[in-house]
Amino acid sequence: MTAARPLPTVVAEPGLPTEVMVYEVGPRDGLQNEPVTVPVEVKLELVARLVAAGLRVVEVTSFVRPEWVPQLADADELVSRLPTLHGDGVRHPVLVPNLRGLDRAMALGVREVAVFGSATESFARRNLNRSVAESLEMFRPLVARANDAGVPVRAYLSMCFGDPWEGEVPVAQVVDVGRRLLDLGCHQLCLGDTIGVGTPGHVSALLGELDAAGVPVDRIGVHFHDTYGQALANTLAALRSGVTTVDSSAGGLGGCPYARSATGNLATEDLVWMLDGLGIRTGVDLEALVATSTWLAARLGRPSPSRVVRALAREVHGGSEEQGDR
């Protein structure tokens, strides 16, 4: 008799959202810090597999200068070859650092972009070579041009819970910069725990202060890193505050090339396992997603850091998570 494949027991928690948008960042944030160049064909297959697994938002790349992030130097080719750029209800946002990046993206038909701001001066200087105020002024014409073209702009806000150079980041400081990004015309504010030091109480406090400052929760997304094992706990705190958009990376890949203490993102599989157990709809096929991350791990030459991938890959393949179809 074959043992049943493990699935989480569904026990809903009152007051949580009934549906969550899983905002997949693996092809961009997950791969950007890989030391060995990943071929564009592998990236295209990764995106296709993620879409086939039911993910409706897959951020695919960043239009930065190649010397900044060499792994994403193929952005133009990748986007030009995406088969689902305009159809099937799938969204493929890209990150753009400036007007030039926006123009490149829109020339290729991109219909949704993101900018990457910082809540702290130290990281703004290291990542954008500008102060926080100067970076906001740089984004102003970019957001205006995108909105005029009907292209919504998401605002990532990094270092919301701590900064490796400045230490603690005051909640009021994060609220102030976040409000200013939304005032530019960004349609969504994504709160980033770039170095993974946040804890659930901190998450709840920040979301409460944003609400008090007039930022509705339906305009907020969260982006947690799992450096200290807090990403799922922080996500649950965000869900209890009403957040319905959660960033994650297939297989738990990712980090930030400008902050060495920023390790892997929240794994999409770990997130979906928790949401499935809470009875929250995502539309994601967990088994197909695990197979995708197993396949990708084989191409990267190392196992996935996701606990769910490791556990379910053993069930599916009877051995290591590196045993995907090659």
Active site residues: 256
- In this structure, the chain runs to a length of 326
Instruction: Confirm if 119 and 177 have CB atoms less than 8 A apart.
Output: yes
* 210: its two tokens: 């944003």
Residue 4, phi-psi category: left (phi > 0), alpha (psi -120 to 50), beta (remainder)? beta
Residues paired with 95 in a beta bridge: 62, 114
Distance between CA atoms of 326 and 323, rounded to whole angstroms?
Answer: 8
Q: Which residues contact 304 (CB under 8 A, 6 or more apart)?
A: 251, 252, 253, 267, 293, 294, 296, 297, 310, 313, 321
- Strand 94-95's sheet: what is its strand order? 57-58, 21-24, 245-248, 220-224, 188-193, 153-158, 113-118, 94-95, 61-62
- Residue 168 token pair: 């603690």
What is the number of other CB atoms lying within 10 angstroms of the CB of residue 48? Answer: 15
As beta bridge partners, residue 113 has 94, 153
DSSP one-letter code for 131: -
**C-alpha to C-alpha distance for 132 and 136, rounded to whole angstroms:** 6
**DSSP codes, 261-288:** T--PBPBHHHHHHHHHHTT-B----HHH
Task: Name the one residue in this structure whose structure tokens are 């592998």.
Answer: 42
CA distance 278 to 316: 23
